[in-house]
């Protein structure tokens, strides 16, 4: 019996030791990385598709279609996505992505586009009022115009469907809105590139007389900064497309604001203040859009702080692919981008990252030009409020409350 107990104990010790050895051995084997299929769309200014640019992830490569679409299969996550635009001599790198679907905008591209026009008529007795005409699909795109015409910049052969909104108001001698007089909207309006759509509003269509509510507040952190501010209404989820003089409902002077908003509209809207700030050296340019409450006083809007360059210093030499480009965080959540311009070969590189630093590693893989012994200008920027590049590239992201800040520009030279 004693020998049986010893044998059982010895077996137990050997078994436990074997399990420990097996566990340690298994721990040294990395599990296979997850793989996903990715797809997306690349567009330029005015959301116009960008065709025939190269999209790469490691050894996988494709080209965007006539509609700006692309797809790649069996991509290991996280992944770096590379865009090579040889026509415009530009390359972009997006680092550390995990998304399966991507919405990428290359705002530097001036794509060819067509105008789609909406001609609007309404009762003559409303012609004494000021107002805005808005075409919106309620999501991605909104276009503004005067009460008689909206000009829409869209891609060739493109068709959009949405609604046309007319809103009339009166102003005081300082050009501030004091009351809203009439409101109307027409659904299921289709516009086509190169075409003209006629929309007629009758008196019955414009019988709604909105109510009003006032909000007031002030800006902080504007001292010593040149700025331009205006108030607008958004009826979609994305930044409005068009020039500020068409988008603005009224301009804001000074550091205080007192705004009149409409009430009882059948379509929900978001009141916004847009501000553009030009800083002094070493600060750069900041654009910020504040989402306002629909009512209230004492609202304080604090301007976000700029990121600032840390390294490399001005006129640095012997920069290579191991040199760390660094900057401060600025304000709040956001993603960062490093823009590098080759002054001789006229090539522009952009590295998008979740971090406050990056190197030039990967620029050779773009195949746009030699980066050795070249003079570069560079600056960095931040886009907020987003938590990651994955969120920033989300096709369904609501970006009507955002800020974008860039630093001033520095020079450097790469080693031979």
- Mean local confidence (pLDDT), 360-383: 89
CA–CA distance, 136 with 240 (Å, rounded to integer): 9
Q: Domain locations in the chain?
A: 1-31, 35-105, 114-211, 214-301, 309-414
Confirm if 260 and 178 have CB atoms less than 8 A apart.
Answer: yes
- Mean local confidence (pLDDT), 170-188: 95
CATH topology of domain 35-105: Immunoglobulin-like (2.60.40)
Look up the pTM and report it.
0.84
pLDDT score at 368: 87
Strands (E) in 201-320, as ranges, are 211-220, 226-234, 250-252, 256-263, 270-278, 283-291, 296-302, 309-311, 316-319
CA–CA distance, 314 with 316 (Å, rounded to integer): 6
Q: CA-CA distances (angstroms) from residue 13 to 2, 8, 9, 180, 400? A: 17, 9, 6, 85, 65
CA–CA distance, 352 with 355 (Å, rounded to integer): 9
CA–CA distance, 318 with 321 (Å, rounded to integer): 10
Q: How confident is the model at residue 182 (pLDDT cuts 50, 70, 90)?
A: very high
Q: CA-CA distances (angstroms) from residue 364 to 91, 144, 187, 295? A: 10, 43, 51, 54
pLDDT score at 365: 77
CA–CA distance, 383 with 98 (Å, rounded to integer): 19
CA–CA distance, 261 with 236 (Å, rounded to integer): 17
pLDDT score at 112: 67
Q: Give the helix ranges, DSSP H, for 207-344.
A: 244-247
Which range among 29-33, 269-273, 314-318, 384-388 shows the weakest confidence by mean pLDDT?
29-33
Q: Which residues pair with 228 in a beta bridge?
A: 276
> How much of the chain, in percent, has pLDDT values that exceed 90?
62
CA–CA distance, 55 with 172 (Å, rounded to integer): 53
Q: CA-CA distances (angstroms) from residue 187 to 162, 199, 267? A: 6, 10, 11
Give the tens place of pLDDT for each residue, 30-55. Answer: 345 699 999 999 988 777 889 999 99
Residues in the chain: 416
Domain 114-211 belongs in CATH node 2.60.40: yes
Give the tens place of pLDDT for each residue, 304-363. Answer: 888 999 999 999 999 999 999 999 998 889 999 999 999 898 999 999 999 999 999 888
pLDDT score at 152: 86
Domains 35-105 and 114-211 share a fold: yes
Q: Which two tokens stand for residue 139?
A: 């999501």
In the predicted structure, residue 8 carries a pLDDT above the cut 80: no
Q: Which residues pair with 165 in a beta bridge?
A: 134, 185
Residue at token pair 């991509």: 75
Bridge pairing between strands 296-302 and 211-220: parallel
- The highest-level CATH class for domain 309-414 is mainly beta
CA–CA distance, 328 with 308 (Å, rounded to integer): 5
In the predicted structure, residue 412 carries a pLDDT above the cut 90: yes
């Amino acid at each position: 019996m004693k020998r049986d107990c010893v044998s059982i104990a010895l077996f137990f010790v050997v078994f436990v030791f074997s399990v420990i050895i097996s566990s340690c051995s298994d721990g040294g084997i990395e599990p296979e990385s997850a793989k996903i299929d990715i797809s997306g769309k690349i567009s330029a200014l005015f959301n116009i598709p960008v065709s025939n640019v190269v999209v790469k992830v490691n050894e996988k490569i494709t080209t965007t279609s006539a509609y700006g679409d692309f797809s790649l299969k069996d991509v290991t996550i996280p992944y770096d996505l590379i865009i090579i635009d040889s026509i415009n001599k530009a390359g972009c790198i997006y680092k550390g992505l995990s998304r399966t679907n991507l919405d990428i905008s290359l705002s530097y591209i001036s794509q060819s586009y067509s105008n789609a026009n909406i001609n609007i008529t309404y009762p003559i007795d409303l012609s004494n009022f000021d107002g805005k005409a808005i075409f919106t699909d309620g999501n991605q795109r909104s276009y503004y115009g005067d009460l008689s015409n909206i000009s829409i910049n869209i891609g060739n052969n493109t068709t959009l469907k949405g609604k046309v909104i007319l809103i009339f108001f009166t102003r005081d001698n300082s050009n501030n809105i004091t009351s809203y007089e009439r409101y109307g909207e027409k659904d299921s309006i289709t516009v086509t590139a190169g075409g003209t759509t006629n929309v007629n509003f009758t008196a019955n269509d414009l019988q709604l007389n909105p109510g009003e509510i006032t909000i007031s507040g002030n800006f902080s952190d504007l001292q010593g900064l040149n700025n331009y501010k205006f108030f607008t209404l958004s009826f979609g989820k994305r930044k409005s497309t068009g020039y500020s003089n068409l988008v603005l409902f009224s301009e804001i002077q000074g550091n205080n604001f007192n705004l009149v908003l409409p009430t009882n509209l059948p379509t929900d809207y978001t009141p916004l203040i847009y501000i553009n700030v030009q800083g002094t050296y070493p600060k750069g340019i900041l654009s910020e859009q504040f989402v306002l409450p629909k009512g209230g006083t004492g609202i304080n809007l604090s301007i976000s702080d700029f990121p600032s360059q840390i390294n490399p210093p001005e006129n640095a030499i012997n920069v290579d692919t191991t040199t760390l480009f660094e900057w401060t965080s600025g304000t709040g959540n956001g993603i960062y981008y490093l823009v590098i311009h080759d002054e001789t070969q006229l090539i522009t590189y952009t590295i998008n990252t979740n971090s406050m630093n990056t190197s030039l590693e990967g620029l050779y893989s773009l195949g746009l030009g030699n980066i050795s012994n070249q003079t570069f200008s560079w600056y960095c920027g931040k886009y907020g409020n987003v938590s990651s590049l994955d969120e920033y590239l989300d096709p369904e992201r609501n970006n009507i409350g955002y800020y974008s800040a860039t630093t001033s520009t520095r020079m450097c030279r790469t080693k031979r």
